[in-house]
Structure 1
Amino acid sequence: MDIGSMLAHNARKFPKILAIECEGRRYTYEQFNEESNRLAHGLFGQGIRKGEKIALMMKNSDHFAFSFFAAAKIGAVVVPVNFRLTSPEVHYILKQSDSTLVICDSEFEQTVAAAREGTTVRHVITIGSPGVLGHHAYTDVLIDNKENPPIDVSLADDLEILYTSGTTGKPKGALFDHERIFKVALAATIGMGLRPRETFLHIAPLFHSAQLNLFLVSGVLLGATHIIQRDFHPVSALEAIEKHKITNFFGVPAMYNFLLQVPNTSEYDLSSIKRCGYGAAPMAPELVRKSMELFGTDQFFNLCGLTEAGPGGVMLEPEDHKTHLGKGGKPIFMTEAKVVNEEGIEVRPGAVGEFILRGETIMKEYYKKPEETSKAIKNGWLHTGDLATVDSEGFITLVDRKKDMIISGGENVYSIEVEEVLYEHPSILEAAIVGLPDEVWGEAVCAVIVPKPGAEPDPQEIKAFCRQKLAGYKVPRRIFIEKELPRNGSGKILKFQLRQALKEIQA
């Protein structure tokens, strides 16, 4: 079943079930399908045809959901864009993806207007009143035709170009067809035990593959209710869980961290939560434990994957959290995973190698990047560039990106191991480990920390704390205290920005 037909199917099956609520706007599955159809006919009226690329630069909203499914229904290819990007960064994505139309929130109009110059973009549709000459109002594009558009869309047709996080350089567009995304949703449904008529809270950005494919698409597949919030605010999230009886919660580690800083969390009724998922970045075991206490459940899933897999990779199930907390997990449904050395041979338990994947959800290619595609996909295996270990029971644990591993005095230092220790310190809210050039050691292990509100951590005391738990060569030689860490829209820390900023400080 293609993704657009999936919504049409559930409009017939669950016509009166609440599908979406966003800022007080409520839509049943019948209305959700009709609104998507009205936009689909409108996009066709704008000259958009099957196979063309539609970029979405929007915060989470009902309009994002309508736009995604409208594009799917006419066989267009959705290009979700991180709304935090600058116009040069957006220009790169619009041009590289061959986007011909952009749908954006009014607050991003100026960014899009500057970014579209020199690209193939023909039209811009604005949610709200356009402030740029030539842009179309979303409501003016809608056509009063609520029937499903008569476009032949198959599972083999392309659906998404998901741009990688760009944590180590310019992002690449991972191309997926309907079948791959359907199987991503299916893997999430089976792996996490998702059920019909549950209630999902969407606070992580929908432009990110995890929230979009693992939870919006899977939730629509099941006929679930979607509570969509435009922005993440910890208090608003807790209020929404209580008010809407949320059953399924997903957040990046930073979100869990901020939820834990709310002073009166015990006053909120969070008992409706059946399961919690976390991913997009490593989550320290101590943070997982505290989050379990917050939500009053041990039904936590570590979703350890990457964009190029839909996302997909390995998963640590709730039962395994009891004995393997901190590990990535085992391969998800329809996926194989291995840890190999440079010759492609599986490493022995405990050794470090490259994490590689093969399965039904892996991208077709990097869009218009054949050389990068051939480097990433070899003999059907996706080479992730992530370093990992595997234990005797087959549990895989990511330890670092290849480019983030630190070699200090000839010893390999994996940043995640040091960061997990730092997160145990009572004064530290967030932490990142990077390597900086050092005349003696080659690279020096350096920590960038964000203190908890009101805390004044002492660098020497933090080093002493680390020495109790880490070998001497892993203990940070320098500690930098900052107000916040640079992150991309997926919640991942931009370590290359940190390294560059710290090098300039040292210069």
Structure 2
Amino acid sequence: MHIGGFLTQNARNFPERFAVECEGRSYTYGELNTAVNRLAHGLISLGVKKGDKVAIVMKNSDHFMISFFAAAKIGAVVVPVNFRLTANEIQYIFSQSDTVLVLCDSEFEETVNSARETTGVSSVIVVGDVAGEGNLLYDNILSHNEEEPNVEISEHDDLEILYTSGTTGRPKGALFDHDRIFKVSLTMLVNMELRKDERFLHLAPLFHSAQLNLFMIAGVILGGRHYIHRDFHPVKALQAIQDHEITHLFAVPAMYNFMLQVPNVTDYDLSSIRRCGYGAAPMPPELVRKSIAAFKTDRFFNLCGLTEAGPGGILLDPEGHEQHLGKSGKAGFLTEARVVHENGEDVKPGVVGEFILRSETVMKEYYKKPEETKSALKNGWLYTGDLATVDEEGYISLVDRKKDMIISGGENVYSAEVEAVLYEHPAILDAAIIGLPDEVWGEAVTAIIVLREGAEIDEQELKSFCRQKLAGYKVPRRIFIEPQLPRNASGKILKYQLRQKMNELTQSAN
């Protein structure tokens, strides 16, 4: 069955069951399916065909959910876009993905209009009261036709392009079909023992593969209840858990940290929570312990996956937390994981190697990037580029990232992309980007720069310079000026030395 078919099935089996609530708008499964079908026919009337790429640039909302399933039901390929990106960054995604239509919130309309220039985007649909010249209002394209779209869809038809980034800094689109995404959701249903009466609170962005595929889609397949928050606010999140008796929570470490900082956190009744998941960034063991105490449950899961697997990878289950807190975990349902030498042989316990995965959830390919696909997918295994060790009991621990990726507040930041912007500044001769541990964000984007002879630079001016070209979360939070950068014989910067030195400087300053 295709992904949209699960919603259709639920609408037939239990049309009166509560499905979703967001900002006062609520739907039963019958009503949600009707809303999806009306939008689906509206998209068809605009000329969207099976296989066309449809981008969604929205914050979390019922409109995001409806847009996703409407596109899925007509065989379109959904391209979720990070709404925090600049117009230049979004333009690349529209162009590279062959996007033909965009659904966006009104607050992002101006950015989308700038981004669509020189791309193949023919229509922009705006959720709001007013749409700019040439764009269409969401409510105005809804069809009166509430029937199921007459589009034949196979589980092997394409469903999503999820954008990640590589060492070059240019995003790559991981392509998935309906079958792969169903199996991504299935792994969560099994690994976390999710039930049909689950109450999901959606706090992390739905453009992220974790919240989208692991929990929104999995929750719809189950027929669970969904409560969607447009923006994360720690007090509102705690209140929602209490008021709606939320049973399942997924959040990035920074969100847990902010919720624990609420002065009267112990006054909230969080006893309905059955299990908590965390991921997308390193979560310090002490924060895990404090979260377990606050939520009064030891059913915590460390979900350590990557976009190219849907996301999928390894997980540390509650039992693993008892003896192996701080480790990444073991392979879950439908997944195999290994740590290997460059020759493909398994490393011995304690030896660093590359973390690789094999699963039916792994992407088909990087869209229109055959060389990158060939490099990542070898003999049925996904080579992640992450460095890891494995212990005697088979628990894997990620120790570094070949891609030099930084995860700050749950957002992926790739050093090469930020470095490219730094090199555009006239005062900078040399530059490196690393991640340093941060109690709030997990990792802080940190710039180490070498100035040109006689040049001076103001820290705030440099941050403003970067902000003009990068999303806010990519802008360096810390800046260090050094006389030179350490390099190996081939000229590559030795970032592990920089991390060690800057950690020591930060600790001594504290």
- Fold match by TM threshold 0.5: yes
CA displacement at 1:343 relative to structure 2: 1.3
Q: Residue 154 of structure 1 aligns with which residue?
A: 154
Determine helix, strand or coil for the equivalent of 2:383.
strand
Deviation at 1:397, TM superposition (A): 0.9
Percent identical across equivalent pairs?
63
Q: Deviations over 1:271-315 (max 9, x none)?
A: 100000000111111110011011010000000000000000001
Residue in structure 1 matched with residue 283 of structure 2 by the alignment: 283
Structure 1 partner of 2:501:
none
Which one-letter code corresponds to 2:14 in the other structure?
F
Match of 1:32 in 2: 32
In the TM superposition, what whole-angstrom CA distance separates every residue of 1:386-426 from its partner, at most 9, and x where no partner exists?
111100111111111114399xxxxxxxx99x84xx75xxx
Which amino acid letter does the alignment assign opposite residue 364 of structure 2? Answer: K
Counterpart secondary structure, 1:100: strand
Match for residue 240 of structure 1? 240
Corresponding position of 1:321: 321
The within-5 A match list for 1:220-369 is 220-369=220-369
TM-score, scaled relative to structure 1 = 0.83
Matched residues in 2 for 1:306 and 1:180: separation? 14
| Pairing 1:312-461 to 2, within 5 Å after superposition | 312-404=312-404, 419=437, 431-432=443-444
Counterpart-to-counterpart distance in 2, 1:336 and 1:490: 35
| Shift in Å, 1:335 | 0.9
Q: Map of 1:178-217 to 2, 5 A cutoff?
A: 178-217=178-217
Query: Do the aligned partners of 1:165 and 1:490 also contact (CA within 8 Å) in 2?
Result: no
Superimposed CA distance per residue, residues 86-139 of structure 1 (whole angstroms, 9 cap, x where no aligned partner): 100010000000000000000000000000011110100000133420100001
Q: Is the 8 A contact 2:201 2:241 kept in 1?
A: yes
User: 5+ residue gaps in structure 2?
Assistant: 407-433, 451-462, 486-510
Relative to structure 1, is the Cα distance of residues 16 and 166 closer, same or farther in structure 2, using a 3 angstrom cutoff? Answer: farther
Change in Cα spacing, 1:145 to 1:252, as seen in structure 2 (3 Å) is same
Q: How many residue pairs get matched?
A: 441
Q: Which residue of 1 aligns with 2:111?
A: 111
- Secondary structure of 1:164's counterpart equals strand
* TM-aligned CA deviation for residue 67 of structure 1: 0.4
Question: What are the superposed Cα offsets for residues 2-24 of structure 1, whole Å, 9 maximum, x if unpaired?
Answer: 10111000111121111000001
1:499, CA displacement in angstroms? 9.5
Counterpart CA distance in 2 for 1:288 and 1:297 is 11
Per-residue displacement from partner, 1:464-492 (whole Å, max 9, x unpaired)? Answer: xxxxxxxxxxxxxxxxxx9xxx9xx999x
Equivalent position of 2:169 in the other structure: 169
Residues 339 and 136 of structure 1: is their aligned pair in 2 closer, same or farther, counting only changes over 3 Å? same
Kindly indicate whether residue 17 of structure 2 is the aligned counterpart of residue 17 of structure 1.
yes
**d(CA) in 1 for partners of 2:297, 2:53:** 42
Q: Is the 8 A contact 1:208 1:490 kept in 2?
A: no
Q: For residues 195-247 of structure 1, what are the alpha-carbon distances to aligned partners after superposition, in whole Å with 9 as ceiling and x for unaligned? A: 00210000100000000000000000000000001000101100110111000
2:373 counterpart SS class: helix
In structure 2, C-alpha distance between the alignment counterparts of 1:167 and 1:81, rounded to whole Å: 20
Kept in 1: contact 2:277–2:300 (CA 8 A):
yes
C-alpha distance in structure 1 between counterparts of 2:477 and 2:252, whole Å: 23
Q: Is the 8 A contact 2:445 2:478 kept in 1?
A: no
What amino acid sits opposite 2:149 in the alignment?
A: P
Residues 252 and 343 of structure 1, relative CA distance in 2, 3 Å threshold: same
Give 1:504 deviation, angstroms.
8.3
Tell me by how many angstroms 1:320 deviates.
Answer: 1.0
Which residue of structure 1 aligns with residue 42 of structure 2? Answer: 42
SS in structure 2 of the partner of residue 193 of structure 1: coil
RMSD across aligned C-alpha pairs, in angstroms?
Answer: 2.5
- 2:4 aligns to what? 4
SS at match of 1:16: coil
Matched AA of 1:171: P
Q: In structure 2, what is the Cα distance between the partners aligned to 1:176 and 1:185? A: 13
C-alpha distance in structure 1 between counterparts of 2:95 and 2:366, whole Å: 15
2:117 and 2:483 map into 1 onto residues whose CA distance is 36
Q: Is the 1:314–1:328 contact (alpha carbons within 8 Å) kept by the matching residues of 2?
A: yes
Q: Deviation at 1:501?
A: 4.6
Question: 2 CA distance for matches of 1:340 and 1:7?
Answer: 41
Give the Å deviation of 1:165.
5.2
The aligned residue for residue 72 of structure 2 is: 72
Would the alpha carbon gap of residues 166 and 89 (structure 1) be closer, same or farther in structure 2, given more than 3 Å must change? farther
